[in-house]
Copies of this chain bind each other. A is one copy, B any other.
Amino acid sequence: MRMNKDDPRIPAAGGAFHSPDQRRPLTLRDVSEASGVSEMTVSRVLRNRGDVSDATRARVLAAAKRLGYVPNKIAGALASSRVNLVAVIVPSLSNMVFPDVINGISHVLEDTELQPVLGVTHYQPEQEEKVLYEMLSWRPSGVIIAGLERSDAARAMLQNSGIPVVEIMDVDGDPIDAVVGISHRRAGRMMAQAILDAGYRRIGFLGTKMPLDHRARKRLEGFTETLEKAGVQIADQEFYEGGSGFAKGREMTQAILERTPDLDFLYYSNDLIGAGGLLYCLEKGIDVPGKLGMAGFNKIELLDGLPRKLATMDSCRREVGEAAARIIADRVAGGARNRGEQVVLIPTLTLGDTLQRS
C-alpha cells in the first residue's frame, strides 16, 4: 500500500475530509490508488457486494473516508442501468394536502434503497409534461403522480417508460397502471347524503374556480348527483382563485350569504376555506349547525382546535402515499409479478360540530 504524503488531496490525519483546494471530484481510481486495491474491489467494498476480505475492506473504507470520497451515481447508474429514484409528481405543496402524501411515501421508502424525487406542477398540464419529461430522462425506478387526468403526451411518456406508474389521490378514471386513492365522486355523494339526512335542503357550494382541480370537480359532481336524486338543487355557488386561507373562506361566505340569505348549508371544497367560513358565521352569531350547517374536505389536522369542529371527510393522504410507495417498492424488488394494482381507500365522514340539526 502506497502512502502518498505528497498528494495534495490527502489531508493530514484527523480531519478526515478536509481537502480545501480540491478541484476535480474524486473517483474510484483515487480510492483505488490510495488503498492499493483495484477499482473493482473498491467498488465492491463501497457497495457491500461480493466477497471481500476483512483486511481489504478495512483498507478501502479507511482510504475512502480519508479522502472524503462520494461515489458518482451518474456513472454507476449508467453502468448498471439501475437508478434508485422514484419520481413523485404533485400539483402543489401549499395546501397542506400533498406534504402528508409525501411524508407517507418517504416513510415507506426509507426502508428501501429507493429515494423519492419531487416535482411540482402547479396544476398546469404543460408543467406536468415538462416535469415528467425531465424526471423520466433520469430513468427513475418508478413514478408516483397525482390524479388520473393526463395529456396524451404525458400518458404516452408514462406508457413508454416501461417503469411502474402509480396514479394517486383519485380512482375515478382510467389509470395507466396502478392507482391508489379515494373516489371523490363517492366522497361527494356521501357528504350530500349526510347533509340530506340531517334535513338540510337549501345548500350552497363554495370552491375553487380552477377547472384543473379534477378531484374538487368530481366531488362536486357526486355531490350534485345525490342531491338531484333527492330532488334538491344547489341553491347557490361561489368560486375563488388563488391560494386557500381563512380570509378567502370568510369573504366567500359573506358573499354567498348576502346573495342568498336563506341557505341552510354550505359545502366547501376544502377545510381551509371552510374554517374561514365557520369563523365568519360564529362571529356573526349565526346558529351553526342549527340554522346553518357547514362541511369541508380533507380532514386537515392542523385545524383541530377551532372553536367548532368543522364537518369533513378524510382524504387518506398519508395512507395513499404509503400504499403507492409500497407498490413501487414491491415491483422494484420483483416481489410483484402483476401490474395495475388498484387500492381504493374509503374516506370516513366526520360530522364534527357543524353537521347536525340541533
Spell out A's residues near B (CB within 8 Å). Answer: 1, 3, 9-20, 22-23, 25-26, 68, 70-75, 77-78, 83, 93-94, 96, 99-100, 102-103, 106, 115, 117-118, 120, 126, 129-130, 133-134, 136-139, 151-153, 156-157, 159-162, 243-250, 272, 276, 279, 283, 301-307
Query: Is the beta-carbon distance between A10 and B153 smaller than 8 angstroms?
Result: yes
How many copies make up the complex? 2
Query: Is the beta-carbon distance between A18 and B159 smaller than 8 angstroms?
Result: yes
Query: Is the beta-carbon distance between A161 and B70 smaller than 8 angstroms?
Result: yes
Query: Is the beta-carbon distance between B11 and A153 smaller than 8 angstroms?
Result: yes
Chain B proximity of A123: nearest CB distance (Å): 13
Given contacts A3-B130, A93-B99, A138-B74, contact A25 B152 (CB under 8 A): no
Pick the most buried of A14, A78, A153: most chain B CB atoms within 10 A of its CB. Answer: A153
Q: Give CA–CA (A301, B94) in the complex, Å.
A: 11
Contact of A156 among B18, B25, B103, B247 (CB under 8 A): B18
Q: Give CA–CA (A304, B10) in the complex, Å.
A: 45
CB-CB under 8 A from A250, the residues of chain B are: 305
CB-CB under 8 A from A272, the residues of chain B are: 302
Residue on B nearest A120 in the bound complex, by CB: B106
Chain B proximity of A47: nearest CB distance (Å): 12
Query: Is the beta-carbon distance between B103 and A244 smaller than 8 angstroms?
Result: no
Q: Give CA–CA (A161, B73) in the complex, Å.
A: 14
Residue on B nearest A134 in the bound complex, by CB: B115
Query: Is the beta-carbon distance between A246 and B137 smaller than 8 angstroms?
Result: no
Residue on B nearest A133 in the bound complex, by CB: B9
Closest 10 CB pairs of A and B: A246-B305, A17-B156, A13-B152, A247-B305, A93-B99, A118-B118, A11-B156, A73-B137, A247-B304, A10-B153
CB-CB under 8 A from A139, the residues of chain B are: 25, 72-74
